[in-house]
Amino acid sequence: DTAVSQTPKYLVTQMGNDKSIKCEQNLGHDTMYWYKQDSKKFLKIMFSYNNKELIINETVPNRFSPKSPDKAHLNLHINSLELGDSAVYFCASSQDSNLYEQYFGPGTRLTVT
Amino acid sequence: SQELEQSPQSLIVQEGKNLTINCTSSKTLYGLYWYKQKYGEGLIFLMMLQKGGEEKSHEKITAKLDEKKQQSSLHITASQPSHAGIYLCGAEVSTYKYIFGTGTRLKVLA
């Protein structure tokens, strides 16, 4: 079984649309994360939840909203998509909230046209 | 703002050669992380260093954090094609505040 899974793997959508990316981990970890990696491979952490509590909330547009229905899931909802949102979004999980021994999902490549 | 500089940006080595990748900060870091990303795939956590002078190894990869906790080096011994990918360093610069380096693309020629 895949430890950290994301759906969809690819997402192509038009500007202005609203979309969601789902993430699930079956490792029993307490902390989950969302990262954005742009076309130049620059990686940026966006959000982190520990036991459904938001602990990292970096400066990202408020069009991005994470939702954690339970500690095994952390979904990312994006409103009013813009061209600059095109990137690969990675979900990750770890037992503790200090990035130690993180497991990453395969990524979701979002293309906004 | 604080940044993490990685060098070199890219590296091509012959199989069997040793290599070193550096990650440098202008300020003291709380913790330093190394990741590997295979082309077109997700990231793999390699190791975390927290104490000045700390050194850790994973198979043929060794990473060290200097005494001032401002620079880390990643050393690969006897490189293999399986080592190819992008190596990223990340660091905790304050509580729950993390930044990442610009990445080093490694190619190993068989």
The domains of chain A are located at: 4-112
Is there a cis peptide before residue A106, judged by omega within 30 degrees of 0?
no
**pLDDT at residue B41, rounded to an integer:** 81
**Mean pLDDT, residues A81-107:** 92
Asked if the C-beta of A108 comes within 8 angstroms of chain B's C-beta atoms, the answer is no
User: Between residues A92 and B59, which one has the greater pLDDT?
Assistant: A92
Judge whether residue A2 has pLDDT over 80.
no
Asked if the C-beta of B42 comes within 8 angstroms of chain A's C-beta atoms, the answer is yes
**pLDDT at residue B2, rounded to an integer:** 61
- In sequence order, which residues have a C-beta less than 8 Å from that of residue B67 and are 6 or more positions away? B52, B53
**pLDDT at residue A35, rounded to an integer:** 95
For residue A97, which residues of chain B lie inside 8 Å, CB to CB? 96
DSSP state of B9: S
User: Between residues B67 and B2, which one has the greater pLDDT?
Assistant: B67
Report the alpha-carbon distance of residue B80 to residue B18 in Å, rounded.
Answer: 10
How much helix, strand and coil, in percent to the nearest 5, is found in chain B?
5, 60, 40
pLDDT digits (tens, 9 = 90+) for B33-58: 999 998 778 899 999 999 899 999 98
pLDDT digits (tens, 9 = 90+) for A28-79: 999 999 999 988 888 999 999 998 888 888 878 999 999 999 999 999 999 9
Residue B96 pLDDT level (bands cut at 50, 70, 90): confident
For residue B87, which residues of chain A lie inside 8 Å, CB to CB? none
Superfamily of domain A4-112: Immunoglobulins (2.60.40.10)
Of B42, B48, B102, the CB nearest to A107: B42
Mean residue pLDDT across chain B: 92
Report the alpha-carbon distance of residue B14 to residue B43 in Å, rounded.
Answer: 24
State the burial class of residue A42 (Cβ atoms within 10 Å of its Cβ: 0-12, 13-18, 19+): middle
Contact at 8 Å (CB) between A23 and A34? yes
Q: Do B45 and A90 lie within an 8 Å CB cutoff?
A: no
Q: Do A45 and B92 lie within an 8 Å CB cutoff?
A: no
For residue A3, which residues of chain B lie inside 8 Å, CB to CB? none
Report the alpha-carbon distance of residue A112 to residue A14 in Å, rounded.
Answer: 5
Of the candidates B50, B36, B31, which has an alpha carbon nearest to the alpha carbon of residue B79?
A: B36
For residue B33, which residues of chain A lie inside 8 Å, CB to CB? 99
Q: Do B98 and A55 lie within an 8 Å CB cutoff?
A: no
Of A97, A100, A105, the CB nearest to B48: A100
Query: In CATH, what is the architecture of B4-109?
Result: Sandwich (2.60)
Report the alpha-carbon distance of residue B15 to residue B78 in Å, rounded.
Answer: 7
Judge whether residue A1 has pLDDT over 70.
no
